Structure 1
Amino acid sequence: MSYDDRPWLGRYAAGQATDFEPEFTDALAMFRASVADCPDSVAVKYFDGVLTLREIDELSDAFAVALQANGFTRGDRIALYLQNVPQFVIALVAAWKAGGIVVPVNPMSKTRELTHHLKDSGATALLCLEGLYAGVARDVVGDTDVRFVVTTSELDYQSRDDERIFKGIERTRHEGTSDFVELIAAHAGVRPEPVSYEAHDVAFLTYTSGTTGTPKGAMNTHGNVTYNAQVYRDWCGLSSDHGVLGVAPLFHITGLIAHISVSVLTRGPLVLAYRFDPGVMLDAIREHRPAFTVGAITVFIALSNTPGATRADLASMTTVYSGSAPISPAIAQRFEDDFGIYLHNVYGLTETTSPSHLVPRGVHAPVDPVSGALSVGVPGPGTMVRIQDDDGNDLPPGEIGEIVTSGPEVVLGYWNKPDETAHALAGGQLRTGDVGFMDERGWFYIVDRKKDLINAAGYKVWPREVEDVLYEHAAVREAAVVGVPDEYRGETVKAYVSLKPGTTATPDELIAHCRDRLAAYKYPRSVEVIDELPKTVTGKILRRELRKQAG
């Protein structure tokens, strides 16, 4: 279906839709409504473990009471230092029932990062995996405001103990901590005092990746959460029949909204598999047959390159979205050819509480004929997006500038950082730092991050364009392009690539491939073939690490 077959998109793209009314003003009310309507619906599948909405409700009641019994009060923060395990969902709901704010922490965080998150948020409670407590948290909490530590095991709530994931993991009790399962058992059957929220109350403090400085806690409100959960449901055509595959980390804004919140709103099961391993994830798809997910393009590249992966394995995945990193049109086409699945684009940031732009389900996004970029979609209902120059002037369609977003999904600001809030969110408009343009029909395209622009002898080179050309080569699995110092040109273009298993390509061959397809100042002067490109835990390729490596 083409864009022009869906005329209502034009109103949404202009931010003028008036028929999108949020059903809930807060995330806890959304959860309670789902429990009341469908208590026996499966909420979480974790290997062979199953939890219903009723069970999540009862377990979260008990944990909320345990939190309150240990001094947790309205407005307090609890940090969740976990992988993709059921305890994350239980504790998230429990924190809201106890009146608190959730601080999701990347389980790959080490001492410095965890210390920053705990101190900056002022968290008074911490729930973490036993191994993470022993390896990191034990040496951190004493220097923070944390006064109540709960540990838990990834082996709980399932009995399969898949060696590909759990090999070498054993349950370990730590002095000075409480056990999650034991706490819940001790408070089973007790309900916390009811609490309620307004749309502007903070639900999460989700920390930015820190790629442009010290990580900041974005204040995602309950209204942000319920709005974007509903956007996903309505724009992607989701229902309780669409199980959600948890490929994104739950600590990330994609996991929090596109996985947990969508699952709660639609009453469809959330399939968890501890952490992303392509073979394990493929088995989870085969077993549980989920239909919907949102993940980085590197996730789908990894799944497609998993030995034994077939069309039949992925046949249940009828609604698949890719975000976090741009999609090359060549990769999207290849995935559709191989598996019959169209990878819809979605674009957003931590500060937009996941999506601000989506390609509606069933619509193939256009490719810009000039840049070759695949559109990231159109803005969600009630969302206003501008393309602006460096002086804050609005630019017309086709002109490249910074993407500036305002709407119901945009956060209040950054926790305890008024100066940063004023800079990035002046007047409630988010300056994203992403560069792109809008075409005449309202489709948006991302060119790149401002800081990734390469200036080669005065010519601007956007890495995305070069990467898209590299992805057209049959042997290229992943590609990243950076600017490196050059005595003559100031900067020049360098590419890093990894190859598909069983293929070969020399640097000279890849340079020639680009030279035939790009202007002379754009093609890479050097190409380095490496086994794996550095990535964040969400699958976003880290160009900054490659710049450091290049010197």
Structure 2
Amino acid sequence: MYITQGLHRHVQAKPHATAVRSNGRSITYAQLGERVARLACALKGLGVTSGDRVAMLSLNSHRYIEYYLGVPWADAVLNPVNIRWTAAEIIYSLDDSETSVLIVDETFKELGSKVANAAKTVGTVIYAGDGETPGGMLSYEALLAAATPVEDACRGGDSLLGVFYTGGTTGFPKGVMLSHNNVAFSSMSIVSTGSYGANAVYLHAMPMFHLADFSAMTALFFSGGTHIVLPTFAPQNVLETIEQERVSEMLLAPTMIQMLLDWRDKAPKASRLDLGTLTKIVYGASSITPALLERARTAFPAAGFFQAYGMTELAPIATFLSSEYHCQAHHESGKMYSAGQPGICVEVRIVDVDDREVPRGTVGEIIVRGPNVMLGYLNKPQETAEALRNGWMHTGDGGYMDEDGFIYVCDRLKDMIVSGGENIYSAEVETAIASHPAVAQIAAIGIPCEKWGETVHVVIVLKPGASANSEDIIAHCRQRIAGYKCPRSVEFRDALPLSSVGKVLKTELRKPFWENRERNIA
């Protein structure tokens, strides 16, 4: 399997159909195929050879889609750059992957120039913007105009597709090496569930550097749907684009869903938007609270909800919870709040510290085996050996499996709070507090305690205009979970630190409490 297969199929079968609409521009499948082939030619002309790394530092655009297809077309390897990183982290990833070409857009042209000059192996910077090409860079559009379309190298199978860096909050990031088979199998697994079909109009609101969006993009190319591209996520722009472009499907992190709902609730014109074409909302990247899920289902009654659980190392999908389980019956059974069942060709087990499978209903580590599991971490043999033991990817997530094979994710194992010898899962605390009517966002962490080792501390963002105090929050929590799981301290903030895809950065929340301590949880 190779990533460009879907493009080939639809250039042949539906050449005049719209493949991409981005920033007022509409591109057919035939036009996209030619632009991708020209980009591959241009890269080869710049000296890119088999296996060379090509990076992109950019907001979402049609050129980002061309990058994802054109680099493997040229027999090269992808390195999409996290736009939220510092210059030091970007330089590290460029050096670690030995990237030779960097593509930047208008937003990141200054940063791109800075990191390219500091990186050891970057020899060429391409400007993929609409303005004047900065000095020292080559024009993306000029390169394509001068190029002649070349045949696809058909790089595929177990060959390296890309280095997808993950982490970066507790030291320098790890480069996850994924093959064409890894991403293709994971994407085909998504298609097999009925998502991203041939008639889908999919909105790219997640950042394209993130593997979750790339996986959705690949799935949509396999099926032949239409890509609608927004440069960045902005609630008003997302909702207005759904109406204007008749969007049918999109992928969002839970924090993005919350931001959509918050804007919709306070904006008078939001109620007049026609969102009836939206039939599926896929959510993932972090857990969702029951309160937020119920609020979203009420706000978008025509949309089916669909959860995907996984991680970059799993290309990225492990399990699915389909729309049929987002109903009252499975609210009562609890399955609506599970991560669902393994995707096709994927096996999941729950194991103890010795990798022995535990009984159903018992919490252990979630491990995964299948064609979606990464090749390993670039230049990190020890970390690779620790993660890929006995052919299974050890996720670092704690969870359990019920009698029907549904997976319930309790917590990141590193986020588990150990207080007085009791294991407390932060997700359980967060779920209890999230049901408070004044709470918009919540994060629970363990902080040091001389007597108990750790105690539960929660950081809360209140809804606009709402009020609550520590006593209210703790009393609300005590009505829902055992007393030892409830917070001993409450902190109110205007915002939580978030990653580029909306994950709460608990490392940042814990840092001031654990600095200079013997147990500094990462």
Aligned counterparts of 2:260 and 2:459: Cα–Cα separation in 1:
21
Matches within 5 A, 1:358-397: 358-364=320-326, 366=330, 374-397=337-360
1:193 Cα offset (Å)? 4.0
Asked whether the 8 Å contact 1:327–1:345 carries over to 2, the reply is no
Asked whether the 8 Å contact 1:311–1:339 carries over to 2, the reply is no
1:139 Cα offset (Å)? 4.3
What's the counterpart of residue 140 of structure 2? 180
Matches within 5 A, 1:6-17: none
Asked whether the 8 Å contact 1:346–1:359 carries over to 2, the reply is yes
Asked whether the 8 Å contact 1:311–1:338 carries over to 2, the reply is no
Aligned counterparts of 1:197 and 1:60: Cα–Cα separation in 2:
14
Matches within 5 A, 1:128-139: 128-139=104-115
Equivalent of residue 247 in structure 1, options 205, 212, 218: 205
- Structure 1 residue 44 corresponds to structure 2 residue 20: yes
Residue type at the aligned position of 2:288: I
Q: 1:374 to 1:251 in 2, by over 3 A?
A: same
Equivalent of residue 292 in structure 1, options 236, 249, 257: 249
Aligned counterparts of 2:136 and 2:60: Cα–Cα separation in 1:
25
Deviations 1:110-162, CA, capped at 9 Å, x for gaps = 21111111011111111012342313542443432111110122xx4xxxxxx
What's the counterpart of residue 332 of structure 1? 293
Aligned counterparts of 1:257 and 1:449: Cα–Cα separation in 2:
23
Aligned counterparts of 2:133 and 2:194: Cα–Cα separation in 1:
43
Aligned counterparts of 2:238 and 2:58: Cα–Cα separation in 1:
18
Equivalent of residue 476 in structure 1, options 420, 430, 439: 439
Asked whether the 8 Å contact 2:326–2:336 carries over to 1, the reply is no
* Identity across matched positions, percent: 32
Aligned counterparts of 2:186 and 2:488: Cα–Cα separation in 1:
43
Matches within 5 A, 1:130-149: 130-149=106-125
Once the two structures are overlaid, the 10-residue window that deviates more, 293-302 or 413-422, is 413-422
What's the counterpart of residue 215 of structure 1? 173
Aligned counterparts of 1:484 and 1:172: Cα–Cα separation in 2:
51
Matches within 5 A, 1:18-417: 25-153=1-129, 156=130, 171-187=131-147, 190-211=148-169, 213-258=171-216, 260-306=217-263, 307=267, 308-310=269-271, 313-340=274-301, 341-364=303-326, 366=330, 374-417=337-380
Structure with more relative contact order (C-alpha pairs < 8 Å, separation 6 or more): 1
Deviations 1:39-81, CA, capped at 9 Å, x for gaps = 1221111132211111111111211111111101111110011
Residue type at the aligned position of 2:441: E
TM-score by length of 2: 0.93
What's the counterpart of residue 20 of structure 1? none
Residue type at the aligned position of 1:201: S
1:347 Cα offset (Å)? 0.1
Asked whether the 8 Å contact 2:5–2:222 carries over to 1, the reply is no
Aligned counterparts of 1:312 and 1:377: Cα–Cα separation in 2:
32
Aligned counterparts of 1:122 and 1:548: Cα–Cα separation in 2:
32
SS of the aligned residue for 2:448 comes to strand
What's the counterpart of residue 508 of structure 1? 471
Question: Once superposed, what is the RMSD of the aligned Cα atoms?
Answer: 1.9
Q: 1:369 to 1:269 in 2, by over 3 A?
A: closer
Q: 1:378 to 1:520 in 2, by over 3 A?
A: same
Aligned counterparts of 2:152 and 2:212: Cα–Cα separation in 1:
28
Aligned counterparts of 1:499 and 1:546: Cα–Cα separation in 2:
17
Q: 1:512 to 1:535 in 2, by over 3 A?
A: same
What's the counterpart of residue 518 of structure 2? none
Deviations 1:254-308, CA, capped at 9 Å, x for gaps = 01111x2122112111111101111111111111121112221011101111124
| Unaligned stretches of 5+ residues in structure 1 | 1-24, 157-170
TM-score by length of 1: 0.88
1:374 Cα offset (Å)? 1.4
What's the counterpart of residue 525 of structure 1? 488
Residue type at the aligned position of 1:419: Q
Asked whether the 8 Å contact 2:72–2:155 carries over to 1, the reply is no
Residue type at the aligned position of 1:546: L
Once the two structures are overlaid, the 10-residue window that deviates more, 51-60 or 248-257, is 51-60
Asked whether the 8 Å contact 2:91–2:118 carries over to 1, the reply is no
1:369 Cα offset (Å)? 7.1
What's the counterpart of residue 548 of structure 1? 511
Aligned residues: 507
Aligned counterparts of 1:211 and 1:111: Cα–Cα separation in 2:
14
| Unaligned stretches of 5+ residues in structure 2 | 515-522
